[in-house]
Structure 1
Amino acid sequence: MLTSVITSSCYWSADSDMAKNVLIVYAHQSSGSFNAAAKDAAVEVLTAQGCTVQVSDLYAMKFKASATPEDINGEVKNPEHFRYAEETKLAWEEGKLSADIVEEQRKLTQADLVIFQFPMYWFSLPAILKGWMDRVLTLGYAYTDERRYSQGLFKDKKVVLSFTTGSLESMFSADGINGDMNVTLWPLQNGILHYCGFQVLAPQIFWAPSRVPKEACAAMLEAWRARLQGLLEEAPLAFTPMDSFDGDKGFQLKPEVQEKHANQEFGLTVGTHLGKRVPPSQMRAGV
């Protein structure tokens, strides 16, 4: 079975009587992995609360990772100089995207919460998951020049990166050999997810499950189960609003915003740090 679908109603907050839909995009080859256990825990807990949960198991689906002209049904506009973003935008508008992309976009459109569950590969995503993002988050559907970042098309959706590492937490610290995990996650959380407008929740990081005792793995899964109980009610991470930047001057931070933060200890975000200390706000909310 390529996609797991569990259906019922879910009521997450007093101000909403709409059923909540969850999409888990899962990227691991083994059903016996810690990532599989984390995915299964999310399905179990969220289903028990009455949510509609869909799982896109990318390896089981044999999801194509490469972005190619084959993602478009019919002829492309400019075969001599194929430009993926522009061609897929046109194909999306004309209903000519390949069936696998259309299906994943359908799931994403329905989702109130998206969980990406994966092992961190080379400080980033497995190729199959990066391919999902490359192919599914097409221009026009997921973003435009006018609708991105805090004004993005997915501003009503929440998202969380849930992943395992091969390295211990100490190695991903500000003085660790791998460097600050805040910095590692910036391209993913800001450059992909926030860029499309998602409300990005604090990441769920399972530190080196292959290196710690079974009891520690069990404790990490229990902490995840506890967090899942109120995941959709969590406050998102803080990112600098798009209107803080001057579009007429290359989207540079406006002088009045810089002046306001001139005497602050930390920069605005991991990326827009103003030459100050990197803030911890891209790891946990409310900091």
Structure 2
Amino acid sequence: MNVFFIYAHEDPKSFGAAMHNRALSYFERNQHKVVVSDLYASGFHPIAAKWDFVVSGGAHQNYMLEQRRAAGEQEGGFAADIKDEIAKIRVADLLVIEFPLWWSAPPAIMKGWFDKVFAMGVTWDGDHRYGKGLLAGKQVLVITGTGDSESLYSPQGLHKATVTQHLYPLLHSTLAHAGLDVHKPFVAHNLTAANDDELQKYLLDLESYLDVVVSRNPEFIYKH
């Protein structure tokens, strides 16, 4: 399996980094080919703007329409950094997306990656959404962590929804919209208070869940 791992965490010594490293080790140990985009380490520029295209559409360009134009040029109309990310998506069977949960969403650098790379004409267009999305046939797994306990992420808890529900704009309106089959996210809760034993259990649980992801009976929340 070809795995494209998109990773966004600013602290290389964080537990998020530990989960990232454990997942990489799992895939490599099991003979999967892995390509990584570490957005912080690479200095990925998250702001969508006219310099994302080889030729600008002018002072009053529509960014989405510029994406469609660039995609229509065999993707040669995109700036090199975006073109490289698109190429990684093209060959991937499984996308793995990891980030810490900030304000019930990915950090801005990850949102910017989607704005620029999940381009119109590349992952979707007006005739190709959800089951007909341009990434149909590929899978995606989200890995994230929270500071609060799992009990607070429930309809009865402080946050009034699960993490999966908080991530609806990403899981449904972005990933499933592009045609991806979306695995149930892996969520590590209560990381600010967890002790070493609890953290180690999360790493073991992550490996066990990756076994499920690559199995013949994965647990999808969106399956086209």
Global fold match (TM > 0.5): yes
Are residues 1:87 and 2:69 paired? no
Q: Which runs of 5+ in 2 are unaligned?
A: none
> Does the 8 Å contact 1:199/1:236 carry over to 2?
yes
Structure with greater helix share of residues: 2
Give, in whole Å, the separation in 2 of the partners of 1:29 and 1:92: 31
1:124 aligned residue (79, 90, 105): 105
Give, in whole Å, the separation in 2 of the partners of 1:109 and 1:196: 13
> Does the 8 Å contact 1:25/1:57 carry over to 2?
yes
> Does the 8 Å contact 1:153/1:197 carry over to 2?
yes
Letter of the 2:171 counterpart: Q
Partner of 2:202: 220
Give, in whole Å, the separation in 1 of the partners of 2:59 and 2:153: 44
Partner of 1:158: 139
Question: 1:24 and 1:238, CA in 2 relative to 1: closer, same or farther beyond 3 A?
Answer: closer
Task: Map 1:188-227; keep pairs closer than 5 Å.
Answer: 188-227=170-209
Q: What is the DSSP-based 3-state SS (H/G/I as helix, E as strand, rest coil) of the residue aligned with 2:167?
A: helix
Partner of 2:220: 236
- The CA deviation string for residues 23-52 of structure 1, in whole angstroms up to 9 with x for no partner, is 110001121111111111111111111010
Deviation at 1:190, TM superposition (A): 0.4
- The two structures have a TM-score, normalised by structure 1, of 0.74
> Does the 8 Å contact 2:181/2:222 carry over to 1?
no
> Does the 8 Å contact 1:158/1:232 carry over to 2?
no
Letter of the 2:25 counterpart: E
Letter of the 2:32 counterpart: C
Give, in whole Å, the separation in 2 of the partners of 1:167 and 1:58: 25
Deviation at 1:230, TM superposition (A): 3.3
Single out whichever of 88-97 and 47-56 deviates more from structure 2.
88-97
Letter of the 1:189 counterpart: L
Q: In terms of Rg, which structure is larger? A: 1
Give, in whole Å, the separation in 1 of the partners of 2:96 and 2:22: 12
1:147 aligned residue (123, 128, 132): 128
Partner of 1:102: 83
Letter of the 1:236 counterpart: F
- The CA deviation string for residues 160-218 of structure 1, in whole angstroms up to 9 with x for no partner, is 11001121111111111111124312111100000001000000001021211111111
Letter of the 2:131 counterpart: S
Give, in whole Å, the separation in 2 of the partners of 1:43 and 1:203: 17
Q: Which runs of 4+ in 1 moved over 3 A?
A: none
Task: Map 1:28-47; keep pairs closer than 5 Å.
Answer: 28-47=9-28
> Does the 8 Å contact 2:148/2:191 carry over to 1?
no
Give, in whole Å, the separation in 1 of the partners of 2:56 and 2:49: 13
Deviation at 1:154, TM superposition (A): 1.2
Give, in whole Å, the separation in 2 of the partners of 1:185 and 1:75: 33
Are residues 1:135 and 2:143 paired? no
Deviation at 1:80, TM superposition (A): 4.0
State how many pairs are aligned. Answer: 219
Partner of 2:33: 52
Q: What is the DSSP-based 3-state SS (H/G/I as helix, E as strand, rest coil) of the residue aligned with 1:63?
A: coil
Deviation at 1:238, TM superposition (A): 4.0
Give, in whole Å, the separation in 2 of the partners of 1:203 and 1:183: 11
Partner of 1:175: 156
Q: What is the DSSP-based 3-state SS (H/G/I as helix, E as strand, rest coil) of the residue aligned with 2:98?
A: strand
Letter of the 1:128 counterpart: I
Letter of the 2:8 counterpart: A
